[in-house]
A and B are shown apart, each in its own frame.
Chain A
Amino acid sequence: MIDRRRFLQSMGAAAAMAAAPRFCAAGQSHGADWRLGWKSMDQDSLAPQTLKIQGKLPDALRGVLFRNGPARHERGGVRYRHWFDGDGMIQRFEVGDGRIVHNAQFVQTRKYQAESAAGRFLYSAAGTALPNAEPSAHNDTGNVANISVLPWDDELLALWEGGSAYRLNPDTLATIGRKDWRDDLVHMPFSAHPEVDRDGTLWNFGSAPYAGRNGLLFIYRIEPKVGVRAVERIALPVASYLHSFAMSERYLMFHLGAHHYEPGGDTFVDAFQWQPERGSQILVIDKNDLSKQRYFEAPAAFTFHTANAYEHGDDLVLQLCLYKDAGIMDSAMVGLMDGGDTVPYPQFERSYMASIRMNLKTGVASTETSDTIMEFPSEDVRASGAEADVFGVSHKAARTLTYSNALVRWRPDGREAARYDFPADQMVEEPLLVAQKDQSFLIGTFLDLAARQSGVYVFDADRLDAGPLATARMPRTIPLGFHGTFVPG
């Protein structure tokens, strides 16, 4: 067995662990093992398996659901400390003709291949300082390609945020190699949350909070089949953790939260300090002239995910999932990985859907936080601006269960328009909207802890309350992941 405790102690994490209070989960029945969600996958790939369908899979829903997430959490008797750390595995669900077939494959990063050959972890990870780690040469040394996926130029990109994307064959999931956009962009940070503009332009950023005086932000404008058209280097006023951004017609918007990089931490994650006294800032960049940048002051908060952004007269509105502090990143994600006997429930806050309204004339921003607990937001692309709803995962209550167990639809006026609570012992992952002319769907994955099965849910996007049109299950489980995409077929 793995001696996790000793490993964690060896990394000086014991004090942090002891400080995190634990509670038994109120909403989960006895015997359901929540740790399944963070169980390490030790096979390089999973052979195709046809899922068993309950309900009726809509004929109109055809395509492939790709998902990415950390899946190899352990190697050679060592378990990573943080949920960000594990190597990325791509899950592929082929949907059509009343069937769903699943297979999966680890991204063959240089790190994954070297560690496979060695039979042990060789490099320190974002949240784990490995004793006797091999030196880090550049940003891709520890690249685990584990956050999201993006269909791009007939390939599938496996996205990380600390370094390069990796190129995959979308049909076979075979790794083609690292994505080098340009000679001077090799090994540059490339976020897992790019945005595609109406004309097909891909906007993305790379965050380097450790570089420059207070962190550097790189903005990339990329044209399909052509490549990078512009890169803007921005010296930030604060070295905030940055995971995503939002885009309106004319602007790019970044929430610079109160979790700041301070040199000297044992790991990248540990280097961030929660500094609420410094507040948050919103950086707004003009898409037509990237050198035009403006900052708005906002209350101290933390975010991973923006949901939507739009312009309304002189106002810019940024919708996002806001946390009151950064406990999710620096303690909750460690607790989930620890695998203790009781559900780890550090005293961290859930994220709530919020709108930050910024006035371009006055320079003043105001924040309205709703009562809707939400993560993994997905904008309703069938509408625009203030009319667009947001779908996401949620909880029945703020302090039950380890992980999301509901889907919600949120209205920009702050109301919850619809929700569906999954049965006890089911953990629910990111919903993706498949917008079609006659009927639109929400598709995503879930983990049934009691049945020890992973599966796919399909809802009518406009009838969330009615429950799933279909669920599909397989007699194996896959670790909970982060983000995906649905490619219509």
Chain B
Amino acid sequence: MKLFARSLCFAGFALASTTASADTLSLVVENIQKQEGVLMIALFDSAEAFNNSGAPVDATIAKVTGETVKVLFEDVAPGQYAIKMYHDANENGEMDTNMMGIPVETYGFSGNKGRFGPPPFEDAVFDVAEGDENVVTVKLR
């Protein structure tokens, strides 16, 4: 169970971009239950990093402004990606867990799959294509 919590933790956050451009990835985060805190979002470009809590290719922190928040990643190279994220409602920089190691803050993954805990990369993967409007939705759980 501790592993589960750890797999959602990642370092290297940058401030979220606010302007769109070519090769932009638009992330729509839904089902934000508490209107406070920030979203901690990590973008992965490999199964190895995603499945084994490796380093993300990009990461960002977005302020919660409503039940749905839109976040932009700029200059994303065409390819396959997957997202892990959680809602740091109390802004303590950690995904809080209970005594069993189960998250008590909401979290989500691209693909919105998985019976319990994080899905494997292949269930979370999506394509970013050059020149397309790349939109991906994550529903927090």
Residues of A within 8 A of B (CB): 124, 133-139, 141, 183-188, 208, 211, 216, 218, 231, 233
Contact = CB atoms under 8 A, between A and B. Distances in A.
Interface string B91-134: 00000111110111011000011111000000000000000000
Given A124-B115, A136-B141, 5 more contacts: A135-B114, A137-B106, A138-B103, A139-B102, A188-B98
Contacts of B49: none
Contacts of B57: none
B141 A208 contact: no
A135 B103 contact: no
Interface of B: 1, 96-100, 102-104, 106-107, 112-116, 141
Contact of B115 (A133, A139, A188, A211): A133
A176 B135 CA distance: 38
B99 A218 contact: yes
9 contacts: A133-B115, A135-B113, A135-B114, A184-B98, A187-B98, A187-B104, A208-B100, A211-B1, A211-B100
B102 A138 contact: yes
A95 to B, nearest CB: 39
Contacts of A136: 115-116, 141
B104 A183 contact: yes
Contacts of B100: 188, 208, 211, 216, 218
Contact of B98 (A124, A134, A141, A185): A185
Contact of B141 (A139, A141, A218, A233): A141
A135 B116 contact: yes
Given A135-B141, A211-B1, A186 B116 contact: no
Contacts of A218: 99-100
A133 to B, nearest CB: 7
- The 4 A-B residue pairs with the shortest CB-CB distance, nearest first, are A137-B141, A186-B104, A135-B114, A138-B102
B112 A135 contact: yes
Contacts of A138: 102-104
Residue of B96, B98, B103, B141 contacting most chain A CB atoms (<10 Å): B98
A208 B101 CA distance: 12
Contact of A135 (B1, B99, B102, B115): B115
A392 B20 CA distance: 69
A218 B104 CA distance: 17
Residue of A135, A186, A233 contacting most chain B CB atoms (<10 Å): A135
B10 to A, nearest CB: 19
A274 B112 CA distance: 35
Nearest to A136: B116
A188 B141 contact: no
A124 to B, nearest CB: 8
A195 B102 CA distance: 26
Contacts of A133: 115
Contacts of A141: 141
A233 B104 CA distance: 18
A171 B113 CA distance: 41
A430 to B, nearest CB: 31
A134 B102 CA distance: 18
Nearest to B1: A211
B99 A185 contact: yes
A443 to B, nearest CB: 37
A444 B141 CA distance: 40
A219 to B, nearest CB: 12
A187 B116 CA distance: 14
Contact of B99 (A124, A134, A137, A231): A231
B6 to A, nearest CB: 16
Given A137-B141, A183-B104, A188 B114 contact: no
A235 to B, nearest CB: 12
B78 to A, nearest CB: 29
A477 B97 CA distance: 43
Nearest to B101: A211
Residue of B99, B114, B116, B141 contacting most chain A CB atoms (<10 Å): B99
B115 A184 contact: no
B103 to A, nearest CB: 6
B103 A137 contact: yes
A255 B4 CA distance: 31
Nearest to B103: A138
A57 to B, nearest CB: 46
Contacts of B1: 211
Given A135-B113, A141-B141, A211-B1, A183 B102 contact: no
A42 B141 CA distance: 27
Contacts of B96: 183
Contacts of A211: 1, 100
A141 B106 CA distance: 12
Nearest to A135: B114
A184 B99 contact: yes
Nearest to B116: A136
Contacts of A135: 112-116, 141
A234 B107 CA distance: 28
Contacts of B114: 135
B111 to A, nearest CB: 10
A120 B112 CA distance: 19
A117 to B, nearest CB: 13
Contacts of B103: 137-138
